[in-house]
Amino acid sequence: MTKVIKVNEEIKEKMIDFYKDKLREKIPPYAIFQAKDGDTVITMYTSGKVMFQGNNADIDANMWGAMGSEINSIQKEIDSEFAKDEIDFNSVPTIGSDEVGTGDYFGPIVVASAYVSSKNIPFLINLGVRDSKNLRDDAILKIVPKMIKKIPYEATILSNKEYNNRHSVDVNMNKIKAVMHNKVLNKMVYDNKFEYDYIVVDQFASEKLYFKYLKDVNVVVKDIVFLTKAENKCLSVACASMISRYIFLKEFDKLSDKIKTNLPKGAGEMIDKIGKKLIEEYGEEILENIAKLNFKNTIRIKEED
């Protein structure tokens, strides 16, 4: 949970004094201090905005907010929008994650998370890392093997069969994504001891929904910054995006080889044509192993011409 309040000079000084023994060594850009109190991370920015992150963020935020409310009526929850605008995620060490395959009828879903240290930022810029959606597949296949020599990452693949088993009325695509992101982030955060300033996820659902999807999951990575088009704003997300795409392409090739058909990507008309051919050759059961059955393509493919 992230909560943001604005404080006046008086409260600012009180807070600086209150948290002086709980300061973190590193201070994020534009911040006066960052402290950790219990489960809550408190970041005070020069603008007078204070961000509280963690399970009980609202309790801490409300305490300070109430204290200042007589003189300062500006207290609002703004879904950490301000932080997203003020932080240059490309200039600090981050863990980022992104997924691929969710718009493709054929092939698995892949989620990857990558870590970019300050030291590796110039390396990635030299490598020409940017939004993988703008990079052609042949460029991805060339760049990623070089990238992963230096960039640590974790990835998880959800096969079509597993996807089709999991996908039901109450397990939707976004919940599947949230569980997969959380899985790779757990490995990045708890199995490794990376030094990072932020965890950034390419946003596919609101922060509230994301954590709601994970309510039955044992260990949930918190303190995430959700950014739209994050692959353009944060190098670790750009890496995660390209690595997941790379893995997806490899898996896609394996599938194509297995059924001796060049499977098309996406979910357009071409898909239906190929799908029809495939069930003629292998029977309807083939789709379960190579496609996401809940897509509308399935109905069209199974339709008699």
- The reply to whether 272 sits near Mn ion by the rule CB under 5 A is no
**Which residue, 22 or 84, has its beta carbon nearer to Mn ion?**
84
Minimum separation from the CB atom of position 206 to Mn ion (A) = 15
- The reply to whether 202 sits near Mn ion by the rule CB under 5 A is yes
Instruction: Answer left, alpha or beta for residue 167, where phi above 0 means left and psi between -120 and 50 means alpha.
Output: beta
Compute the distance between CA of residue 232 and CA of residue 242 in angstroms, rounded to an integer. Answer: 12
- The reply to whether 98 sits near Mn ion by the rule CB under 5 A is yes
Q: How many residues are present in the chain?
A: 305
For residue 203, what are the CA distances in angstroms to 60, 184, 224? 26, 15, 10
- The reply to whether 154 sits near Mn ion by the rule CB under 5 A is no
**Which residue, 60 or 202, has its beta carbon nearer to Mn ion?**
202
Minimum separation from the CB atom of position 32 to Mn ion (A) = 33
Of the listed pieces 16-24, 124-132, 200-208, 277-285, which binds Mn ion according to CB under 5 A? Answer: 200-208
Compute the distance between CA of residue 192 and CA of residue 228 in angstroms, rounded to an integer. Answer: 26
Of the listed pieces 31-39, 87-95, 202-210, 255-263, which binds Mn ion according to CB under 5 A? Answer: 202-210
Minimum separation from the CB atom of position 230 to Mn ion (A) = 7
Of the listed pieces 7-15, 120-128, 195-203, 252-260, which binds Mn ion according to CB under 5 A? Answer: 195-203
Which two structure tokens, joined as six digits, stand for 180? 């997969």
Minimum separation from the CB atom of position 155 to Mn ion (A) = 14
Instruction: Answer left, alpha or beta for residue 203, where phi above 0 means left and psi between -120 and 50 means alpha.
Output: beta
Minimum separation from the CB atom of position 100 to Mn ion (A) = 7
- The reply to whether 104 sits near Mn ion by the rule CB under 5 A is no
In sequence order, what are the residues at sequence separation of 6 or more whose Cβ sits closer than 8 angstroms to the Cβ of residue 193? none
Compute the distance between CA of residue 116 and CA of residue 50 in angstroms, rounded to an integer. Answer: 26
**Applying CB under 5 A, which residues contact Mn ion?**
98, 202
